[in-house]
Amino acid sequence: MAMSDWAGSWQLDPQRSEVTFRSPTMWGLSKVKGTFTEVDGTGRVTAPGAVDGRLRIHAASVRTGIRKRDEHLRSADFFDVAEHPTIDVVVHADGATRTNTVELHAGMTIRGIERPVDLQVDIEELPDGALRVVARAEFDRSEFGVNGNLIGMMGDITKVEAAAVFVKQP
């Protein structure tokens, strides 16, 4: 698929997409790993290589494998899903070329606090014409008001990976 073939509207396929995170805990001795199970998004590619998109992560869908911890992550100590049900990522790039890696400038909003994030994104063309877009970010969760740090047990740096599959719309 050539870059010109990417022009148009794209829809996230939630069945083939995943958003995961890792945060240090126990003073860095172990990591909490989790997944957000509900995510949706759209993208648009326009000539010459402008990319705009949105990824919406439903914060209440957080899963770590421990029910009590998941409930705590949904509370006001962390994501405060009652007041802030989504984590939003809005991306923009100008002059993207047909390569397997694109730099995207994103605004990420967690708990109503938006911060800029630059992402290196790997793109893979799938046999069915869909695009698999993998973005990785590392950020200080306290900058977004995600605290909940019990006696200093949790580190502030969180690593997030979004592996999203987008299908071109007619």
Q: What pLDDT band is residue 34 in, cutting at 50, 70 and 90?
A: very high
Q: What pLDDT band is residue 30 in, cutting at 50, 70 and 90?
A: low
Where do the domains of the chain lie, and which CATH numbers do they carry? 3-168 (2.40.128.110)
Task: Summarize the confidence of residues 49-70 as an average pLDDT.
Answer: 92
**Separation CA 12–CA 32 (nearest Å):** 26
* Buried residues in 52-74 as b, exposed as e (16+ CB within 10 A): ebbbbbbbbbbebeeeebbeebb
Task: Tokens for 38, please give them.
Answer: 């509900």
Mean pLDDT of the chain: 85
Place of tokens 């996230």: 12
Q: From its phi and psi, is residue 4 left (phi > 0), alpha (psi between -120 and 50) or beta?
A: alpha
CB 169 within 8 A of CB 13: no
From 42, 41, 45, select the one nearest 2 (Cα to Cα). Answer: 45
**Separation CA 78–CA 60 (nearest Å):** 11
Q: What pLDDT band is residue 104 in, cutting at 50, 70 and 90?
A: confident
Task: Summarize the confidence of residues 102-129 as an average pLDDT.
Answer: 89
Q: From its phi and psi, is residue 152 left (phi > 0), alpha (psi between -120 and 50) or beta?
A: left
